[in-house]
Amino acid sequence: MEFSMYPFPTQTILRQPEVCRITRLSRVTIWRLERKGDFPPRLRLSSNAIGWRESDILAWINNRPEGLASPGQQACPAVRVG
């Protein structure tokens, strides 16, 4: 039996650079889709931090029809890690 210090299932929170990388959408495109109700809502993590539930992002990707990307849609610029 695996022991967890949390009495409830934990969810992974993805920060904006990760969401941009996974979805291949720019920050502005994500913001526009959110405003239209076509993208999972962001979570306010602190006064200067936002994120999304990984499960919400993966569900959005899996439910999105193939080839629905808008013409000229740009991915987020490369993000350095580490």
For the segment 14-69, what is each residue's pLDDT rounded down to a tens digit? Answer: 999 999 999 999 999 999 999 999 999 999 999 999 999 999 999 999 998 876 55
Residue 81: count other Cβ atoms within 10 Å of its Cβ. 7
Residue type at 37? Answer: G
pLDDT (0 to 100) of residue 71 = 41
Report d(CA 47, CA 80) in Å as an integer.
23
pLDDT (0 to 100) of residue 82 = 42
Task: State whether residue 44 is helix, strand or coil.
Answer: strand
pTM: 0.70
pLDDT (0 to 100) of residue 69 = 53
Show the CA angle centred on residue 4, arms to residues 2 and 8, nearest 5°: 120
> What are the residue boundaries of the structural domains of the chain, listed by start?
13-63
Label residue 10 by pLDDT band (50, 70, 90): confident
Report d(CA 74, CA 45) in Å as an integer.
26
